[in-house]
Structure 1
Amino acid sequence: MVRLPLTPEEIERGRRLGALLRRARGERSMLSIALDAGVSPETLRKIESGRVATPAFPTIAAIVDVLGLSLDAVWSEINRPDGEAGLAGSDAAGRLAS
């Protein structure tokens, strides 16, 4: 199967998702979050670094669940228009919790 190149919007959304997950993880180890979510640490590392800009929904759902975040809030945050004030502050994880 041939994969189409990612759009700039998809790349930016992946970058935002990775940054949000890193902030939400805080001091917890990548290994423990990945294992609790049922994904490999390498997969989580790639998502957090933005190398996987469009991860599978079940993967993100599992990670978000382990982090105690709301999928709706995560979706809203990573899709906010540029320049719009979002949850980019250091307490974003607390505001995204379900």
Structure 2
Amino acid sequence: MNNIVIWGIIGAGLLIIIVCAIIRTQKDIERINVTLNKIAKQVGVQDTVTNELKSLILDGKKIEAIKKYRMVTGLGLLEAKEYVDSLCEKELK
């Protein structure tokens, strides 16, 4: 077998392993954030991030709200957008 093919297969395998590790880490972070939010709610810690996001949404800065939520939580773009969209729906009601 050609060396290039072998190295290509090894590279593809490593890439798959790295992508799986990244996905697993993102899911772990999401689970930890959910747990921390539950603990904070029980202890009575004010959710200043959500209040700040709502303020950005009301100011018409939805993209900035998504960026802020991603920065704070470490979540991906899709998850952050879905969360901010859910806040938008709550604000409209």
TM-score, normalised on structure 2? 0.29
Structure label with greater radius of gyration: 2
Calculate the TM-score normalised by the size of structure 1. 0.28
Going by fraction, where is helix more abundant, 1 or 2? 2
**Could you say which structure has the greater relative contact order, defined with CA pairs below 8 angstroms and 6 or more residues apart?**
1
